[in-house]
Amino acid sequence: MNTAYLSAGSNMGDREAYLREAAVRLNSLPGTELDRLSSIYETDPVGFEDQAPFLNMVFRLRTSLPAEELLDACLGIEAEIGRVRTVRWGPRVCDLDILLFNDENMETEKLTVPHPRMHERAFVLVPLLETDPGILATLKRRFPGFPGVDLEDGIRLYKTIQGPAAFLEGK
Ligand code: X6L
Ligand code: MG
Ligand code: MG
């Protein structure tokens, strides 16, 4: 079994519904269970700032899928939910990024794990640390400059969730 941490984001339409749809689809992948999730945060856009605010959260999955198959599944789920890639760093209904996969370091054409810029993004770090405070030690070890960002800047608690089952059921 593998443990994967994924960042999820949406800044178009019914943002919370898209995050839930992503969680339901991830939980339905073969050999995969949504095992923990963060609160939902509303976050100021970074990279390309002239767009609507995001909802961001982090999912922890237990999965028998290898990392590259999980990546393909994430890209498929983004497309099924209706993602259209136009402007780089632009608005999207659903973005799913693999942050961590076990304790592995990997770099292929398709995938780099840990996500190379995760330590610079409060919208990733705050929900990630909420799902597992023990990850702080891992982040400090893997990213010498950690944290590369003010963890209180541009991020507001939007909604707390009672657990994976409640979220999947729409509560
Ligand atoms: C300089 C240059 C500083 C580029 C930052 C940061 C670029 C993040 C892209 C950057 C830079 C990104 C989300 C977002 C995006 C999201 C929020 C990206 C890719 N995705 N903003 N911007 N949440 N709040 O999920 O992360 S585009
Ligand atoms: Mg992203
Ligand atoms: Mg992405």
Question: What is the average pLDDT score of the chain?
Answer: 97
Supply the pTM of this predicted model. 0.97
Q: Annotated catalytic residue: which of 15, 20, 60, 83?
A: 83
Compute the distance from residue 97 Cα to the ligand 2 centre, in Å: 6
Query: Is residue 83 flagged as an active site residue?
Result: yes
129 contact partners, CB below 8 Å, separation of at least 6: 135, 136
Q: Is 46 in the pocket of ligand 1 (CB under 6 A)?
A: yes
Confidence of residue 6 (pLDDT cuts 50, 70, 90): very high
Quick: pLDDT tens for 109-145: 999 999 999 999 999 999 999 999 999 999 999 998 8
Of 26, 39, 10, 8, nearest in space to 126 by CA:
39
Cα Rg of the chain (Å, integer): 15
Q: How far apart are CA 93 and CA 83, in angstroms?
A: 6
Q: Is 45 in the pocket of ligand 1 (CB under 6 A)?
A: yes
Answer yes or no: are the C-beta atoms of 96 and 77 closer than 8 Å.
yes
Q: Is 43 in the pocket of ligand 1 (CB under 6 A)?
A: yes
